[in-house]
Amino acid sequence: MKIAITGKGGVGKTTLAGLLARLYAAEGRTVLAVDADPDANLASSLGISPEEAAKALPLAEQTDMIEERTGSRPGAPGGMFRINPKVDDIPEKYSIRRDGVRLLIMGKSKEAAAGCYCPEHVLLRRLISHLILRSNEVVILDMEAGIEHLTRGTAGSVDAFIVVVEPGQRSLQTAHHVENLAKGLGVKQVFVVGNKIQRDTDKAFIEKNLGDMQVLGYMRFSADTVQADLDGRSAFDAAPAAVDEAKVIKAALDQMIQKK
Ligand SMILES: Nc1ncnc2c1ncn2[C@@H]1O[C@H](COP(=O)(O)OP(=O)(O)OP(=O)(O)O)[C@@H](O)[C@H]1O
Ligand SMILES: [Mg+2]
């Protein structure tokens, strides 16, 4: 199962990505969590300490490795580079392992962010395509907020998008934009998770504004989840009610997802 978690800024993408990754790992599945947000913070949501996370240099910053693989150094002007660099050993070599989850941090590259045809962009794109083709593995991509990055196509080959929304027009608008882009990218399924629910009317609001998108489930606004982030802990370890809600969401996902 390969999924990308998307949505407006701050809605809870990273929180949900961490919860789902830990739940699949607890089931004994091989899980690769990919932090595809240049402002990377999935590690803490997986229960990885900042010290441990700092040991893994984000891939986009591994200039020696990128040069070795592509034949061209990031930032070097002009130059030719291989468009099919070797990537199959990267997940094993460059990920951090914790509680049965491997975390890969894509990192920030100014040029890649602009969607340029540069060595680091080519390497990251190829890596993601490779990860998505590997069988028997759960791959969860924690995406950058918003939609602009989706036009760069890195997440286009996943089985499904999960769009996290909160009660409010703006995050639902983003969800509809994601849905439209997903169609263009050939992503067949777009699911919604409603987060930060405080009242029953919040669910009704979300359902009313969803159009054709299917809801996997909801997570209530949770003081434990807030506290987990304050303490730099994962919701999985510190917010039991959120874990129970994520189990329901995971069960719905397992049931609704159609493998390619
Ligand atoms: N159900 C919830 N109840 C209370 N707080 C929550 C809930 N879900 C997430 N949060 C909090 O909201 C904040 C943003 O969550 P998170 O980082 O997961 O969002 P995000 O969508 O990944 O944000 P960004 O767009 O910056 O990547 C965090 O402080 C998190 O702890
Ligand atoms: Mg995030």
Dump pLDDT digits (tens) for 201-246. Answer: 999 999 999 999 999 999 999 999 999 999 999 999 999 999 999 9
pLDDT score recorded for residue 154 = 74
What is the Å distance from ligand 1's center to 107 Cα?
A: 20
What is the Å distance from ligand 1's center to 179 Cα?
A: 21
Is 153 a residue whose pLDDT tops 60?
yes
Pick the closest to residue 206 from 166, 173, 250, 256 (CA basis). Answer: 166
Give the closest residue (by CA) to ligand 1 atom 25: 9
Give the closest residue (by CA) to ligand 1 atom 3: 221
Average pLDDT over residues 160-170: 97
Is 79 a residue whose pLDDT tops 80?
no
Q: What is the CATH number of the domain that holds 140?
A: 3.40.50.300
Single-letter amino acid, residue 198 = Q
**pLDDT more than 70, % of the chain:** 95
The answer to pTM > 0.75 is: yes
Domain count, the chain: 1
- How far apart, in whole angstroms, are the C-alpha atoms of residue 196 and residue 189? 23
pLDDT score recorded for residue 111 = 58
Considering only residues 108 and 79, tell me which one the structure prediction assigns the higher pLDDT: 108
Q: Atom of ligand 1 at shortest distance to CA of 15?
A: 18
What is the Å distance from ligand 1's center to 201 Cα?
A: 21
What is the Å distance from ligand 1's center to 222 Cα?
A: 10
Pick the closest to residue 66 from 40, 37, 87, 97 (CA basis). Answer: 87
Q: Atom of ligand 1 at shortest distance to CA of 17?
A: 18
DSSP 167: S
Considering only residues 252 and 147, tell me which one the structure prediction assigns the higher pLDDT: 252
Question: 214-220 and 137-142: which strand pairing?
Answer: unpaired
Is 177 a residue whose pLDDT tops 90?
yes
**pLDDT more than 90, % of the chain:** 73
What is the Å distance from ligand 2's center to 9 Cα?
A: 7
Q: Atom of ligand 1 at shortest distance to CA of 164?
A: 21
**Ranges assigned E (strand) in the chain:** 2-7, 30-35, 96-98, 101-105, 137-142, 160-165, 189-197, 214-220
Q: Which ligand is nearest to the CA of 217?
A: 1
Q: Is 171 in the pocket of ligand 1 (CB under 6 A)?
A: no
- How far apart, in whole angstroms, are the C-alpha atoms of residue 190 and residue 5? 10
Look up the domain containing 75 and give its range.
2-256
Average pLDDT over residues 45-71: 91
When pLDDT is cut at 50, 70 and 90, the band that residue 156 belongs to is: confident
